Amino acid sequence: MSKGLKKKFDDFLFDHEGAKTSLEIIKSLLACILSAAIYSFGYRCFMLNTDPSLSLVAGGMSGFSQIVAKILEIYKVVDPADIATWQPIFSYLLNIPIFIIGWKYVGKRFAIFTLITVALVSLFTFIMPQSLIELFELEEELLPRALFAGICTGIATTVAFKNGTSTGGFDVVSLAVANKKSTSIGKYLVLFNGAVLLGYTLTSYIYFDVNPIEGGNPAFRLFLFSAIYLFTNGLMNDFMNQRFKKAQIQIITTNENLSNILIAQFPHGCTIINGKGAFSKKDKLIIYMVVSYDEINKVVSLVQLADSEAFINVVTLNQVYGRFYIEPFK
């Protein structure tokens, strides 16, 4: 789409609030479907297996559903071959309290779309064609399964977050904490999901009644490869999710109105320092501004439009302290 057409389209949406709202809802629904499809593909094809010793451990409510299924399996309530059928149902039921947390601490629309996404994940996992599962079946190759599962679920989570929804579970809790602390979400995903992994490992240790020294208890083997999955998932989220990444933009300009233009267009403050060009000996203004990663290109374009001779420097930041505005989920 050319810049002229994009401007006309943006102007049309600005004048037609109903059309804008409808497009946002359609976009969020499409994101729900896409993220649910990617997540269920990674979960069903690379994590679950009818053989208990080959099933990796998911985090969040998916991991809790595996613990519930494992306990039922221990007491012979369900057959191991039917675990993949029961887990989507357990996962959806366990996500109901998470929906309440999302509604209260993140946003009402976010919570509603999260509930839709979780329902779609459960549905897609339940109806996943056996032919597709067998096509990607890696059996005892736990390392590639852990990596591919982490990549798929990480991409799914990022797609969901970028469009005002989530895949449920501890993604919602991690997002609420990251929002409050204005920091990356990956470390919280690893922390909370790691607790689920420990719980599943202890449950599995009871089930796999094998001496870990003499027989090599498979529960510990699954723990190691599941930990690789969790770290891969967390790294994918931090790498792709730019919502919590920040950058400092340094602008050297002679346009005295540029700071007012920036403040009018972005929900961030800026700092101005008087300077002088070493070569030109002309007076300059040095503007410092901290923005989110997804705002960098917009800031640069606006500065170049206001002052084509401005010098712009962008520096990646690890963390900022103080008040920094991040647009909340609705």
Tell me, yes or no, whether 202 and 111 share the same domain. yes
Tell me, yes or no, whether 184 and 54 share the same domain. yes
DSSP assignment of 59-115 equals -HHHHHHHHHHHHHHHTTSS-GGGHHHHHHHHHHHHTHHHHHHHHHHT-HHHHHHHH
248: helix, coil or strand? strand
Displacement of CA 278 from its chain's centroid (Å): 45
Residue 206 has pLDDT above 70, yes or no: no
Residue 205 has pLDDT above 70, yes or no: no
pLDDT at 185: 74
Tell me, yes or no, whether 150 and 285 share the same domain. no
How far is it, in rounded angstroms, from Cα 89 to Cα 269? 48
pLDDT in tens, 262-301: 999 998 989 999 999 888 888 999 999 999 888 899 999 9
pLDDT at 291: 92
Residue 69 has pLDDT above 80, yes or no: no
Confidence of residue 252 (pLDDT cuts 50, 70, 90): very high
pLDDT at 288: 95
Tell me, yes or no, whether 183 and 120 share the same domain. yes
Q: Classify residue 7 as exposed, middle or buried by CB count within 10 Å of its CB (0-12, 13-18, 19+).
A: exposed
The residue range of the domain holding 194 is 19-240
Q: In what order do the strands lie in the sheet with 283-292?
A: 271-276, 283-292, 246-253, 311-317
Tell me, yes or no, whether 172 and 96 share the same domain. yes
Confidence of residue 148 (pLDDT cuts 50, 70, 90): very high
pLDDT at 210: 44
Residue 35 has pLDDT above 90, yes or no: yes
Question: For residue 285, which of 276, 293, 294 has the smallest C-alpha distance?
Answer: 276
Structural domain includes residue 3: no
Residue 81 has pLDDT above 70, yes or no: no
What would the mean pLDDT of 31-44 be, rounded to a whole number?
92
pLDDT at 213: 42
Tell me, yes or no, whether 165 and 119 share the same domain. yes
What would the mean pLDDT of 167-178 be, rounded to a whole number?
77
CATH number (domain holding residue 307): 3.30.70.120
Tell me, yes or no, whether 30 and 120 share the same domain. yes
Average pLDDT, the chain: 80
Confidence of residue 211 (pLDDT cuts 50, 70, 90): very low
Where among 208, 240, 272 does a domain terminate? 240
Tell me, yes or no, whether 75 and 180 share the same domain. yes
Question: For residue 150, which of 99, 182, 189 has the smallest C-alpha distance?
Answer: 189
How far is it, in rounded angstroms, from Cα 234 to Cα 228? 10
Q: Count the neighbouring beta carbons within 10 Å of the beta carbon of residue 44.
A: 24
Residue 212 has pLDDT above 50, yes or no: no
Q: Count the neighbouring beta carbons within 10 Å of the beta carbon of residue 267.
A: 12
Structural domain includes residue 329: no
The more confidently predicted of residues 247 and 209 is 247
Q: Count the neighbouring beta carbons within 10 Å of the beta carbon of residue 325.
A: 13
- Map tokens 């959806």 to a residue: 92
Regarding pTM above 0.85, the answer is no
Confidence of residue 314 (pLDDT cuts 50, 70, 90): very high
C-beta separation of 303 from 253 below 8 A? yes
Where among 240, 263, 298 does a domain terminate? 240
The more confidently predicted of residues 297 and 182 is 297
The more confidently predicted of residues 187 and 211 is 187
Domain count across the chain:
2
C-beta separation of 165 from 112 below 8 A? no
